[in-house]
Amino acid sequence: MKAMVLNKVCDLKENKKPLEMVNLPDPVPGEKEIRVKISACGVCHTELDEIEGRTPPQLPVVLGHQVVGRVEKAGKKTKKYKMGDRVGIAWIYSACGQCKYCLQGDDNLCKEFRATGQDANGGYAEYMTVKEDFAFLIPDVYSDVQAAPLLCAGAIGYRSLRLTGVKDEQSLGLTGFGASAHLVLKMVRNKYPHTKVFVFARSEKERIFAKELGAIWAGDTCDESPEKLDSIIDTTPAWKPVVEALKNLKSGGRLVINAIRKEEKDKDCLLKLDYPGHLWMEKEIKSVANVASRDVSEFLELAAKIPIIPEVQEFALEEANTALLELKERKIRGAKVLRINAY
């Protein structure tokens, strides 16, 4: 099969073609695995972190964790899918299935958690294999390319919303307003119609967009919200918004940090942490790690119901390096998706 492979970590500024097109043997599914003929794979910021070594992958690796395709071969002990079923594969590639976390539905916290396109080959290729339990049916409302971007930002946004514990009529803040936060706002409007959403964003454009999508108020990162909030989701890479968000929480409120890592450069801001103002009165801070399998399936169902239809920009598999470079340079016109085998 054709695959775009990462052989070594590098700086994208110096090496604009980090992925190499190669021919690999078609992967053979294990007993509990299915083989998926891939039709689309989303391009994510995490791939930039992998290529540049901030989230080092096992090399060599086929990147890509927003994979859509059809089941075309299955191991002896599989039973969930029939040939031709259209499935998606997300960041969670596998977990043990037996530990306390797996049994309580938090397989994202399993010690044996493996990530797609990081610890195992992912979707920048014509085929991939995965355990059937970690593949999810794609709802019919979506085309293959439309479904791909939902599998990362959407599923993780869904998890972060779940971790806030927000209930209808409670208030929710969003600090940072990128792809994942847009999706969270759309989910809240549908799932919790009486919840007021407050958005903190640096750019005027983002604040206007937030209000268009239904936020009741939008201000700058450091602004005080007009009322104290039950919970806030932070999707920024920085520390300042964390400290600023804590001051806007109610007593017993919760801040959920939805970031795979935080930058070091403004860590000094943490010295401004004021115990009585920011943490006293049982305020909580919780991070979001990876994504659990149930987040993916529950989110896909919710997204289809709303429906959330992403804007996409298509690239051929061979153009993966171009797509990544454009993402790095923030040339963004919709979510970038590689179009692979045609259907």
Q: Indicate which single residue of 5, 19, 44, 215 sits in contact with Zn ion (rule: CB under 5 A).
A: 44
Part of the chain binding Zn ion (CB under 5 A), chosen from 46-54, 120-128, 239-247, 299-307? 46-54
22 binds Zn ion (CB under 5 A): no
Surface-to-core class of residue 80, CB atoms within 10 Å of its CB (0-12 exposed, 13-18 middle, 19+ buried): middle
325 binds Zn ion (CB under 5 A): no
Part of the chain binding Zn ion (CB under 5 A), chosen from 56-64, 88-96, 236-244, 299-307? 88-96
Residue 225, φ and ψ in degrees, nearest 5:
-70, 155
Nearer to Zn ion, 101 or 200 (CB): 101
Residue 132, φ and ψ in degrees, nearest 5:
-60, -30
User: Which residue is listed with tokens 């923030």?
Assistant: 330
1 binds Zn ion (CB under 5 A): no
Part of the chain binding Zn ion (CB under 5 A), chosen from 39-47, 126-134, 162-170, 318-326? 39-47
Nearer to Zn ion, 170 or 313 (CB): 313
317 binds Zn ion (CB under 5 A): no
109 binds Zn ion (CB under 5 A): no
Report the chain's terminal Cα–Cα distance, integer Å: 17
96 binds Zn ion (CB under 5 A): yes
Residue 159, SS3 per DSSP: helix
Q: Indicate which single residue of 5, 62, 90, 95 sits in contact with Zn ion (rule: CB under 5 A).
A: 95
Residue 256, SS3 per DSSP: strand
Q: Indicate which single residue of 102, 115, 201, 243 sits in contact with Zn ion (rule: CB under 5 A).
A: 102
Cβ neighbours of residue 22 under 8 Å, at least 6 residues apart? 2, 3, 4, 5
Nearer to Zn ion, 166 or 256 (CB): 256
* Minimum gap (Å) between residue 95 Cβ and Zn ion: 5
Comparing C-alpha atoms, which of 260, 290, 195 is closest to residue 49?
260
Residues 262-281 that bind Zn ion (CB under 5 A): none
Nearer to Zn ion, 166 or 312 (CB): 312
255 binds Zn ion (CB under 5 A): no
Nearer to Zn ion, 142 or 198 (CB): 142
What string marks each residue from 140 to 159 as x (binds Zn ion by CB under 5 A) or -? ------------x-------
What is the residue-wise DSSP string for 219-244? E-TTPPPSS-EEEEEE--SSSHHHHH
Q: Which amino acid type is present at position 33?
A: E
Q: How many chain residues touch Zn ion (CB under 5 A)? A: 8
Q: Which long-range contacts (CB under 8 A, 24 or more apart) does 239-243 make?
A: 239/263, 239/266, 239/267, 239/269, 239/270, 240/266, 240/269, 241/175, 241/176, 241/200, 242/269, 242/270, 242/285, 243/269, 243/270, 243/272, 243/273, 243/278
Q: Indicate which single residue of 21, 99, 304, 309 sits in contact with Zn ion (rule: CB under 5 A).
A: 99
Comparing C-alpha atoms, which of 221, 226, 193 is closest to residue 207?
221
What string marks each residue from 54 to 73 as x (binds Zn ion by CB under 5 A) or -? --------------------
90 binds Zn ion (CB under 5 A): no
Binding site for Zn ion (CB under 5 A): 44, 46, 95-96, 99, 102, 110, 152
